[in-house]
Amino acid sequence: MAGEPRARSLKQFRRFQHVALAGQPQNTIYRVEDGWAARYQLLSDDRRQITALFLPGDYCEPQLILGELADHPVMAMTNLRVRPIPIEELRAGPISSHDDIRDMLTAVLRALNRQTDWIVRLGRKTATERVCGLICERYDRMRANNRVSNDRCALPLTQYEIADVVGLTAVHVNRVLQGLRRRELIELQAKRLRIPNPEALRRIAGAPNAA
């Protein structure tokens, strides 16, 4: 029927495979169905800053609907399954006929809000607040997409990757995580995270309570 989206097959990326490269033309936006991806930037000495994480339910770089060149590389942090959405298809009809466009515009606004929180976290918060903020945000986003069960969800990032998100060393991240474990604020085993008391962790992070 007219106005109904065509069924699209899923595409897979292996861990550490690039979904996009900086300056590379992109004719597709991907919706993450399973796995995690990250946007990042390398400094001249190969230090890395991860500037966005894409989780199940997220669109990778939804702003590409406004332009087709990737500004920064995006890499699969785990094995990744995504649903491709051709940009040309999105532009072919009125907005009222495309749920994908409305969803992506909403995703752009959410990404801007998250980026603001990210800047505040890196610029003004302590190491413990940064790590707790990252954990709380991922937990809440996974819960919003029904990826939390019995207070547990996936946290597939290594300590080195967490360090690249929060702007710390891996040694410092390890110290913070061990402190949170001792205080029984988190349980982290086999890349599975449990938060016994999410509100207590949010208070430490200086984050608002989840809706």
Q: How sure is the predictor about 120, in pLDDT bands with cuts at 50, 70 and 90? A: very high
What are the tokens at 179?
């402190």
pLDDT at 206 (0 to 100):
87
- The pLDDT score that the predictor gives to residue 129 is 97
Whether the per-residue pLDDT at 59 is higher than 60: the answer is yes
Side chain identity at residue 13, one-letter code: F
Going by pLDDT thresholds of 50, 70 and 90, the confidence category of residue 122 is: very high
Domains defined along the chain, listed by start: 11-118 (2.60.120.10), 126-205 (1.10.10.10)
Model pLDDT for residues 63-118, shown as the tens digit of each residue: 888 777 888 999 999 999 999 988 888 777 665 555 677 787 888 888 889 899 99
In this prediction the pTM is: 0.87
Position 207 scores a pLDDT of 66
User: Residue 119 pLDDT more than 70?
Assistant: yes
Dist. CA 144–CA 55, nearest whole Å: 11
pLDDT value, residue 93:
62
Output the pLDDT for position 97: 53
The predicted pLDDT at position 94 comes to 60
Q: What is the pLDDT of residue 1?
A: 39
Q: Distance of CA 162 to CAs 8, 32, 45, 61, 133, Å?
A: 33, 20, 19, 20, 12
Question: With contact defined as beta carbons under 8 Å apart, do 127 and 204 qualify?
Answer: no
Q: Given this model, what pLDDT does residue 99 score?
A: 65
Query: Residue 49: is its pLDDT beyond 90?
Result: yes
* CA distance linking residue 168 with residue 159, whole number of Å: 10
The answer, yes or no, to whether residue 3 has pLDDT greater than 50, is no
Cα gap 129→187, rounded to integer Å: 17
Q: For residue 184, name the pLDDT band (cuts at 50, 70, 90).
A: very high
Give burial (CB, 10 Å; 0-12/13-18/19+) of 11. Answer: middle
pLDDT, residue 91, reads 73
| DSSP, residue by residue, 22-89 | TT-B--EEEEEEES-EEEEEE-TTS-EEEEEEE-TTPEESGGGGG-SB-SS-EEESS-EEEEEEEHHH
